Structure 1
Amino acid sequence: MKIVKNLSKDKLAVISFIIIVITIIVGLFAPFFAPYDPNEVNMGLRYASPSWEYPLGNDHLGRCILSRIVYGIRPSVLWVLVALFISVLIGAVLGFLAGYFKGKVDAFLMRICDIMLSFPGYVMTLAIIGILGVGLENILIGFILVKWAWFTRVIRTSVMQYSELDYVKFSKLTGMSDLNIIYKHLIPVTFSDIAVISSSSIGSMILQISGFSFLGLGIQAPNAEWGMMLNEAREVMFTRPELMAAPGLAIVLIVSAFHFLSDALQVALDPKLVTSKSKLEEKLETSKIKFQEKEAANR
């Protein structure tokens, strides 16, 4: 409840949260929100300008751009969230094992993570796509195979920090099972860290999947995806810039919303950041008043 209260004070976080929720709902129920079939070809409306019937106009095949934007939420956002959830789940399980039990388990898992993290994530994902072939499902598999190691290492660090607390040690001495200790004592305190790193990763994953689709490696035609829509509109970007504006603004809007929410979530979950932010705002306000007084005195 305290987290919700802190988040509610940040207007930008509230707006970002609303944008994210609306985007997810529209994506889940795309057939109800899309005015037309996103794959319906109508050459008579080729490059038609925006109108009341087609608010965002039509593309090179006369397809409704608004409908394609709506359906593009699914591969661009929803499936990325699924890949993120799987990556975080794998990382959490392995991170708790490594951070709590330590010893040989920790050493073995960290060596595997070192190997996975020794390659740049984008290059590693490209290599996986090259092996498995192009397509949305292969990009998502690449995300999971690349991201789990990073989540494992970060979560493991958090677990090791909290596992040394006195009440955790006392629980071990009383004979409480390791599973109960992890469930009752470690998961609640590490949840905030997991939430922050998850929310901070989703934006980059959305940009990456849009980038792969723009290069023709992601979801294939005629299915709608924001990055692919940018690729289809690049040939007329100077004569019909609105065709690139719609998917481009959609990507910028949702990525910015996730980043703003991630920043606000980090501040809301960390009391030190709340205090430092308040002190910084006070200092800025004081400096502003002194500057205005100085300017008034000079006049």
Structure 2
Amino acid sequence: MHTIALANQKGGVGKTTTAASLAIGLSRQGKKVLLVDADAQGNLTQLLGWEQPDELNPTLATVMGKIITDKPIEPHDGILHHQDGVDLMPANIELSATEVTLVNTMSRETVLRQYLSTVQKDYDYAILDCMPSLGMLTINALTAANTVIIPVQAQYLPAKGLEQLLKTVMRVKRQLNPGLEIGGILMTMVDSRTTLSRGVIEQIRVAYGGRVLRSEIPRSIRAAEISLEHKNIFEHDKDGRVAGAYESFTREVMNLGRQRQKHGPDLTR
């Protein structure tokens, strides 16, 4: 199972929409995919149609709690099956308490990795939607992941936080997860009509070269609407620019191994 974390400590960069669209895109390519909502706000859970995440039980907090207390986990405990062919480990506000508990837990950075090891034989991919912070849950996700993808909004201030995130990834790679690779930086909410958007993209491409993915996700009201209508982007924006961009992004993700060979050393080295 290849585990991909989508991480950015800045909120509002399209991370959750990207996580869902990538998972469904991979499913459309015949892959078995587990989505993991690693954010106590439960935005991914709500996006996929479970509008009252706080009423769900068990959730990610439940299974991580069992690992922390050394209790057995039943196979597929808490996993929900979505109509678009992906599975979801949901999250709700209880995950906030889990993050507090992790502070005093032995091997606290590896709890999520331990959970994923119990389901890895059943999936080709696990997609982790991280919370917008660099707290213990995000560290858990980076420790569990093979690859991190960083969605960055094509505006100046969101792009400024990129360096801090890369330093965190580098520290996790050095101390906790030597196999962690940066799969790429994904430009989101791109408005190619504005000088600001084009300028930010150019700066990031100059700074990070081949690590910036070719795919760019355009700003579109169609992407914003999917959270209200609980439809995936490939249905809601069929033949549209955003659906096409996410199809391209999905193909890039599936080819990440070849990209790493082509572009040389990882950013975290």
Shorter-chain TM band: under 0.3
Higher strand share: 2
State the TM-score, normalizing by the size of structure 1: 0.23
- Structure number with greater Rg is 1
State the TM-score, normalizing by the size of structure 2: 0.25
Higher helix share: 1
